[in-house]
């Protein structure tokens, strides 16, 4: 390992002497006086339980985190007493506005309370008896393959950033863990959907892969969050709505509603994160808008890819309903960008694409 | 951004524009419908368990047939989907050998994790804390223990996350397991923080020695080195501490916490053991590297015997700080320390890495402290 102990503690007599003294009953107990801010938080609403917002009071509250963290690069929890000698764990995300959203604690709580497991909760047998070779079924399996790819890489994006993020922002780190979990579940659920019965996976969609690689290669966490949470999951949410409307069985309806529910959390965090970041550092708006141009171009490639748009056309019964879905999703996306302070998106890549498919 | 995709502006790309025009005319390409991927009969083998990864373990979709060097996709394409090896988006994964990440039973661990999620907010009867009287010194000791657990648990999200995005997506069962572990450990950090902040004392002092061990875990040279340190040794030690902490918990509310975290932790430790076993079976030449890594891991672990950590457990086990209570506490904690090492040795042996036991630094340490050496008992 790269980090080597300054000495071989296994031969350090002082340590053994210290432990021996303790184990002979000679306790120091000085630590018992090292008490920080006392706290006895209780649930504000007993039916909801003890939430993160309930314990975020006094010196433990996120409001006490400075915009730039200079005091703690260890894993010591926020609000603990920091003795000398704590090492740096090399965090690269040390600026509050780079990750923070006031919604993070409640979104983490929501994710836990809305847990579901694809193995048991999806009524898989509702898919029995479907004609495996039907156009509709093949289209559904191709979309499931696309969603599986999205789930796989969108679990990687928070994984890429969470270990680089300072522990002072633990609520956001918890939420990143939820995102890894939720995205991996999307991959699982839609892999199972594609394969159930006489199923099969479809084909790899290269333009979608390019968009996903762009998310993973984002320059910083704000850009990654913008591309994945605000942009991509906004469209996943819209797609889920369309899948629910098109579902002709209980399994697909269930999967679509859960996809929608999970995607909404990504979108809510991403939108509020951007809003909060631009509010704190207005100068970031231009940089982010530039990154968004690139991501939106990647998204256009994916939305127009044969492996994405054609199965949607087959499921919807024509291009016009798909164009309407895309227009509505673009309108919602523009509204979120406006609300976040990213400005008018009418000159971005999406409007021109909508013209192309709408004629 | 270091990657921009292959097309400068899709909406002005001639091929793309023509294709959109064709689409408007109702001309679909539909080449994707002839994926040529394997079509299998997949159903839930047990209605009670539902449709699991084990049910999907068939043919080109399965993991049993996945070789040590799966020369498949390197991008987002799910295992078993059709893809063009000459024209795929390469996510440039760094862990591409099965033995880099794989563990026996990993699909089962993942399914178990999915079905055993719990909620620290609602599954712990927080309001019941008021029903149980606790002395100030016991609550202070418990707050110190909770501070320690809050501090160390997030390493088990950060370390696997550091490696997960570098893993080839063909190992999605492992990556999914890691995602469940990240979630589990975030919940553990959450529950101990909540307990410390609900008990009347609050968070206490962080422990520098433990932090140095956490840094060493995060800095592992390979995923397997880091996994051996974290899953097998560190989480193994924490699992023993959880079991012990349930026994010495000041209230039934605290016992409930430890019962819930224990089941998650046991799964993580099992994954680490099964990953090591997989390496021993399929890539045994890595033994030397693992030895060197565990040599250093054990060194850091020995340095973790911090006064605050050891003493808070003694106070909790003896239920106070009077001499007779401390004597009781010392006896119980001494048993726990021996148990930690005994269980570590058992895991090494079960993983097929029993030769490590003779080289371990822990046996000499126990002898120095006048405690029994489990290695001797095991060989007897």
Q: Of all residues in chain B, what percent are helix, strand and coil, respectively (each to 5)? A: 65, 0, 35
B351, pLDDT greater than 90: yes
Nearest to A35 among B3, B29, B201 (CB): B201
Q: Looking at the complex, does the CB of residue A324 fall below 8 Å from at least one CB of chain B?
A: no
Nearest to A180 among B52, B182, B327 (CB): B182
Instruction: List the 84-113 stretch of A: residues with Cβ below 8 A of B.
Output: 84-90, 108-109, 112-113
One-letter-per-residue 3-state SS of chain A: CCCCCCCCHHHCHHHHHHHHHHHCCCCCCHHHHCCCCCCCCCCCCCCCCCCHHHHCCHHHCHHHCCCECCCCCCCCCCCCECCCCCCCCCCCECEHHHHCCCCHHHHHHHHHHCCCCHHHHCCHHHHCCCCCCCHHHHHHHHHHHHHHHHHHHHHHHHHHHHCCECHHHHHHHHHHHHHHHHHHHHHHHHHHHHHCECCCCCECCHHHHHHHHHHHCCCCHHHHHHHHHHHHHHHHHHHHHHHHHHCCCHHHHHHHHHHHHHHHHHHHHHHHHHHHHHHHCCCHHHHHHHHHHHHHHHHHHHHHCHHHHHHHHHHHCCHHHHHHHHHHHHHHHHHHHHHHCCCCCCCCHHHHHHHHHHC
Is residue B64 packed enough to be buried (19+ CB in 10 Å), middle (13-18) or exposed (0-12)? exposed
* Measured distance CA(A290)–CA(B256) in Å, rounded: 50
| pLDDT score recorded for residue A8 | 92
Average pLDDT over residues B103-119: 98
Q: How far does B254 lie from chain A, in Å, by closest CA?
A: 14
Instruction: List the 107-166 stretch of A: residues with Cβ below 8 A of B.
Output: 108-109, 112-113, 115, 117-122, 124-125, 132, 135, 138, 142, 145, 148-150, 152-153, 155-160, 162-163
Q: How far does A3 lie from chain B, in Å, by closest CA?
A: 5
Instruction: List the 246-275 stretch of B: residues with Cβ below 8 A of A.
Output: none
B234, pLDDT greater than 80: yes
Given a contact cutoff of 8 angstroms between Cβ atoms, the answer to whether A273 and A284 are in contact is: no
Place of tokens 């044969």: A306
* Measured distance CA(B115)–CA(B185) in Å, rounded: 16
| pLDDT score recorded for residue B232 | 97
Written as six digits, the tokens of B195 are 């307990």
* Measured distance CA(B289)–CA(B228) in Å, rounded: 11
Searching chain A, which residue's CA lies closest to the CA of residue B47? A120
B244 falls in which pLDDT band (50, 70, 90)? very high
Find the DSSP H helices in B62-131: 98-101, 106-115
C-alpha gyration radius of chain A:
24
**B63 lies in some domain:** no
Helix (H, G, I), strand (E, B) or coil at B75: coil
A223-251 confidence digits (pLDDT tens): 999 999 999 999 999 999 999 999 999 99
Query: Which of B341, B293, B316 has the alpha carbon at shortest distance from B140?
Result: B316
B-chain CB neighbours of A163 within 8 Å are: 157-159, 161-162, 218
A151-199 confidence digits (pLDDT tens): 999 999 999 999 999 999 999 999 999 999 999 999 999 999 999 999 9
**B10 lies in some domain:** no
Residue spans per domain, chain A: 9-64, 96-358
B155, pLDDT greater than 80: yes
Q: Which residues pair with B50 in a beta bridge?
A: B46
**B43 lies in some domain:** no
A261-279 confidence digits (pLDDT tens): 999 999 999 999 999 999 9
* Measured distance CA(B372)–CA(B368) in Å, rounded: 10
Q: Looking at the complex, does the CB of residue B29 fall below 8 Å from at least one CB of chain A?
A: yes
Q: Tell me the percentage of chain B whose pLDDT exceeds 90.
A: 93
What homologous superfamily does CATH list for A96-358?
Answer: Ribonucleotide Reductase, subunit A (1.10.620.20)
Q: Looking at the complex, does the CB of residue A61 fall below 8 Å from at least one CB of chain B?
A: no
Written as six digits, the tokens of A265 are 């959390």
- Of A131 and B326, more confident: B326
A-chain CB neighbours of B178 within 8 Å are: 159, 180
Searching chain A, which residue's CA lies closest to the CA of residue B169? A152
* Measured distance CA(A112)–CA(A109) in Å, rounded: 5
A283-304 confidence digits (pLDDT tens): 999 999 999 999 999 999 999 9
Q: Looking at the complex, does the CB of residue A14 fall below 8 Å from at least one CB of chain B?
A: no
* Measured distance CA(B139)–CA(B251) in Å, rounded: 10
* Measured distance CA(B203)–CA(B6) in Å, rounded: 51
Q: Tell me the percentage of chain A whose pLDDT exceeds 90.
A: 94
Given a contact cutoff of 8 angstroms between Cβ atoms, the answer to whether A179 and A260 are in contact is: no
Searching chain B, which residue's CA lies closest to the CA of residue A162? B158
* Measured distance CA(A64)–CA(A251) in Å, rounded: 46
Average pLDDT over residues B84-91: 96
Q: What is the DSSP letter of B222?
A: S
Searching chain B, which residue's CA lies closest to the CA of residue A15? B303
* Measured distance CA(A228)–CA(A239) in Å, rounded: 15
| pLDDT score recorded for residue B376 | 78
* Measured distance CA(A251)–CA(A238) in Å, rounded: 19
B12, pLDDT greater than 70: yes
Q: Looking at the complex, does the CB of residue B377 fall below 8 Å from at least one CB of chain A?
A: no
Instruction: List the 16-55 stretch of A: residues with Cβ below 8 A of B.
Output: 16, 18-20, 22-25, 27-32, 34-43, 46, 48-52, 55
A94, pLDDT greater than 90: yes
* Measured distance CA(B26)–CA(B23) in Å, rounded: 5
A359, pLDDT greater than 80: no
User: In Å, how far are A297, A302, A305, A310, A318 from B23, measured between CA atoms?
Assistant: 19, 15, 11, 9, 9
Nearest to B198 among A28, A42, A206 (CB): A42
* Measured distance CA(A191)–CA(A201) in Å, rounded: 8
Place of tokens 């009781």: B328
| pLDDT score recorded for residue B372 | 81
- A295: number of CA atoms within 13 Å, CB side? 29
**B72 lies in some domain:** no
A-chain CB neighbours of B179 within 8 Å are: 155, 159, 177, 180-181, 183-184
Instruction: List the 201-260 stretch of A: residues with Cβ below 8 A of B.
Output: 201-204, 206-214, 216-219, 223
Q: Looking at the complex, does the CB of residue B359 fall below 8 Å from at least one CB of chain A?
A: no
| pLDDT score recorded for residue B342 | 96
For A352, residues 6+ apart whose C-beta sits below 8 A from its C-beta are: B11, B12
Q: Do A187 and B1 touch (CB under 8 A)?
A: no
A98-122 confidence digits (pLDDT tens): 999 999 999 999 999 999 999 999 9
Given a contact cutoff of 8 angstroms between Cβ atoms, the answer to whether A210 and A149 are in contact is: no
B-chain CB neighbours of A34 within 8 Å are: 204-205, 308
Using CA atoms in the order A242, A245, A247, A252, what is the torsion angle rounded to 10 degrees?
60
Chain center to CA of B246: 21
B368 falls in which pLDDT band (50, 70, 90)? confident
Is residue A333 packed enough to be buried (19+ CB in 10 Å), middle (13-18) or exposed (0-12)? buried
Given a contact cutoff of 8 angstroms between Cβ atoms, the answer to whether A72 and A167 are in contact is: yes
Domain residue limits at B106: 98-379
**B14 lies in some domain:** no
Query: Which of A144, A134, A130, A113 has the alpha carbon at shortest distance from A49?
Result: A113
Q: Do B51 and A86 touch (CB under 8 A)?
A: no
Instruction: List the 193-232 stretch of B: residues with Cβ below 8 A of A.
Output: 193-194, 196-206, 208, 211-212, 214-216, 218-221, 225-226, 229
* Measured distance CA(A106)–CA(A309) in Å, rounded: 35
**B237 lies in some domain:** yes
A-chain CB neighbours of B193 within 8 Å are: 55, 77, 170
Q: Looking at the complex, does the CB of residue B233 fall below 8 Å from at least one CB of chain A?
A: no
Instruction: Give the domain CATH number at B300.
Output: 1.10.620.20
Quote the ipTM score.
0.98
Q: Which residues pair with B207 in a beta bridge?
A: none
Searching chain A, which residue's CA lies closest to the CA of residue B108? A119
Q: How far does B127 lie from chain A, in Å, by closest CA?
A: 7
Written as six digits, the tokens of A260 are 């929608």
Written as six digits, the tokens of B370 are 């006048």
B interface test, pick of A1, A104, A304 with most B CB neighbours within 10 Å: A1
B367 falls in which pLDDT band (50, 70, 90)? confident
**B37 lies in some domain:** no
**B44 lies in some domain:** no
A-chain CB neighbours of B169 within 8 Å are: 152-153
Nearest to B165 among A159, A173, A313 (CB): A159
A-chain CB neighbours of B42 within 8 Å are: 195-197, 199
Searching chain A, which residue's CA lies closest to the CA of residue B225? A1
Searching chain A, which residue's CA lies closest to the CA of residue B11? A353
Given a contact cutoff of 8 angstroms between Cβ atoms, the answer to whether B80 and B264 are in contact is: no
Q: What is the DSSP letter of B82?
A: B
Q: Tell me the percentage of chain B whose pLDDT exceeds 70.
A: 100
B interface test, pick of A10, A82, A190, A258 with most B CB neighbours within 10 Å: A10
Q: How far does A209 lie from chain B, in Å, by closest CA?
A: 6
| pLDDT score recorded for residue A16 | 87
User: In Å, how far are A3, A208, B138, B258, B337 from B247, measured between CA atoms?
Assistant: 35, 52, 14, 9, 15
Q: Do A204 and B29 touch (CB under 8 A)?
A: no
Given a contact cutoff of 8 angstroms between Cβ atoms, the answer to whether B293 and B229 are in contact is: yes
B378 falls in which pLDDT band (50, 70, 90)? confident
Searching chain A, which residue's CA lies closest to the CA of residue B138? A32
How many domains are there within chain B? 1
Q: What count of other Cβ atoms lies within 10 Å of the Cβ of residue B237? A: 22
A53-63 confidence digits (pLDDT tens): 999 999 999 99
B380 falls in which pLDDT band (50, 70, 90)? low
Written as six digits, the tokens of B186 are 């975030």
């Amino acid at each position: 390992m790269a980090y080597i102990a300054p000495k071989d503690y296994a031969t350090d007599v002082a340590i053994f002497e210290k432990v021996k003294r303790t184990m002979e009953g000679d306790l120091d107990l000085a630590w018992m006086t090292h008490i920080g801010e006392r706290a006895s938080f209780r649930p504000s609403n007993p039916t909801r339980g003890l939430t993160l917002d309930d314990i975020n009071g006094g010196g433990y509250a996120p409001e006490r985190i400075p915009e730039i963290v200079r005091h703690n690069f260890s894993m010591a929890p926020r609000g603990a007493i920091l003795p000398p000698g704590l090492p740096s764990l090399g965090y690269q995300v040390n600026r509050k506005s780079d990750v923070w959203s006031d919604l993070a604690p409640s979104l983490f709580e929501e994710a836990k309370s809305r847990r579901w497991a694809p193995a048991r909760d999806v009524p898989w047998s509702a898919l029995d008896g479907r004609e495996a070779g039907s156009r509709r079924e093949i289209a559904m399996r191709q979309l499931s393959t696309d969603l599986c790819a999205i789930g796989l890489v969108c679990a990687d994006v928070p994984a890429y950033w969470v270990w680089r993020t300072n522990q002072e922002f633990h609520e956001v780190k918890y939420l990143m863990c939820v995102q890894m979990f939720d995205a991996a579940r999307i991959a699982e659920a839609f892999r199972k959907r594609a394969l159930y019965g006489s199923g099969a996976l479809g084909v790899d969609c290269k333009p979608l892969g390019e968009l996903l690689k762009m998310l993973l290669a984002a320059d910083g966490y704000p850009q990654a969050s913008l591309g994945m949470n605000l942009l991509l999951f906004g469209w996943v949410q819209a797609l889920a709505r369309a899948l629910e409307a098109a579902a002709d069985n209980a399994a697909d309806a269930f999967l679509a509603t859960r996809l929608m529910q999970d995607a909404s959390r990504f979108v809510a965090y991403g939108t509020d994160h951007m809003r909060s970041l631009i509010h704190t550092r207005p100068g970031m708006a231009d940089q982010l808008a530039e990154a968004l141009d690139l991501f939106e171009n990647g998204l256009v490639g994916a939305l127009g890819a044969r492996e994405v748009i054609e199965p949607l056309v087959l499921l919807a019964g024509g291009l016009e309903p798909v164009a309407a879905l895309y227009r509505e999703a673009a309108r919602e996306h523009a509204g979120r960008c406006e609300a976040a302070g990213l400005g008018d998106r009418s000159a971005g890549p999406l409007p021109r694409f909508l013209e192309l498919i709408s004629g | 951004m270091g990657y921009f995709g292959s097309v400068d502006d899709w909406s002005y790309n001639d091929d793309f524009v023509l294709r959109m025009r064709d689409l408007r005319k109702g001309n679909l390409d539909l080449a994707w419908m002839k994926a040529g991927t394997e079509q299998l009969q997949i159903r839930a083998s047990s209605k009670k368990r539902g449709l699991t990864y084990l049910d999907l373990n068939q043919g080109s979709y399965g993991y049993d047939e996945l070789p040590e060097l799966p020369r498949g996709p390197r991008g987002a394409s799910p295992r078993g989907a059709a893809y063009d090896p000459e024209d795929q988006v390469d996510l440039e994964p760094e862990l591409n050998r099965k033995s880099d990440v794989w563990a026996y039973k990993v699909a089962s661990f993942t399914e178990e994790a999915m079905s055993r999620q719990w909620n620290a907010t609602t599954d712990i009867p927080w309001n019941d804390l008021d029903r149980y009287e606790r002395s100030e010194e016991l609550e202070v000791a418990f707050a110190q223990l909770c501070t320690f657990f809050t501090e160390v648990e997030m390493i088990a999200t950060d370390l696997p996350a550091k490696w997960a995005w570098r893993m080839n997506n063909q190992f999605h069962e492992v990556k999914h397991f890691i995602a469940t572990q990240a979630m589990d450990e975030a919940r553990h950090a959450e529950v101990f923080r909540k307990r410390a902040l609900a008990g009347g004392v609050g968070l206490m002092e962080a422990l520098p020695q433990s932090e140095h061990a956490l840094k060493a875990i995060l800095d592992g040279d390979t995923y397997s080195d880091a996994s051996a340190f974290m899953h097998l040794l560190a989480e193994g030690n924490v699992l023993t501490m959880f079991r012990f902490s349930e026994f010495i918990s000041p209230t039934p509310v605290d016992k409930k916490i430890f019962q819930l975290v224990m089941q998650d932790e046991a799964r993580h430790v099992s994954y680490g053991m099964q990953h090591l076993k997989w390496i021993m079976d399929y890539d045994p030449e890595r033994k030397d590297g693992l030895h060197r890594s565990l040599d250093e891991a054990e060194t850091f672990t020995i340095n973790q015997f911090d006064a605050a950590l050891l003493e808070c457990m003694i106070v909790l086990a003896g239920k106070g700080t009077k001499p007779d209570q401390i004597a009781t506490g010392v006896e119980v904690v001494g048993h726990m320390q021996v148990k930690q090492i005994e269980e570590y040795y058992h895991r090494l042996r079960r993983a097929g890495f029993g030769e490590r036991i003779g080289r371990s630094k822990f046996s000499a340490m126990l002898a120095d402290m006048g405690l029994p050496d489990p290695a001797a008992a095991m060989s007897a």
